[in-house]
Amino acid sequence: MEPIITLDLFYNNPNPLCIVKEQKIIDFPNMIDRFESDLYGIGKKLSENVGKLSLHHLTKMITMYYFELLIEFKDNFKGIIPVNYANDIYHQVIEAFINLYGDFLNISKIVPNYIKDGFIDINIFEEVDEYMSAL
């Protein structure tokens, strides 16, 4: 699978999530079932708030959920995120979304465009907190 993030992105940009070179301490566990459950709950709350979900709503939901997971991981893993884990988490989130909703919108090709900017956004913590708190 193609990585969503490489360290090249940070050469002239901020790295607020502290993504670092690959560290193979252990393989990232399969969390797809948990991610499916979380995405289902978030999607349900979001549809109760806005009604029918558009492509924009779905891509924003995936993006904010993904960054929430990265922030949670960073908080629990020495304040850093190995780049291989950031990629593993991304692919599992996309797989969980497709398992729930299908890929009829080619979400797996659209979401990377939304996600890439978040890696260098110095306000990503506040944006994720604001989004998730509003649900």
3-state SS string for 54-121? CHHHHHHHHHHHHHHHHHHHHHHCCCCEEHHHHHHHHHHHHHHHHHHHCCCCCHHHHHHHHHHHHCCC
pLDDT at 49: 94
pTM of the model: 0.94
Report d(CA 61, CA 43) in Å as an integer.
7
Residue 89 carries which side chain, given as an amino acid letter?
A: I
Section 2-28 average pLDDT: 88
What pLDDT does residue 89 have?
Answer: 96
22 falls in which pLDDT band (50, 70, 90)? confident
Integer Cα distance of 51 and 98 in angstroms = 21
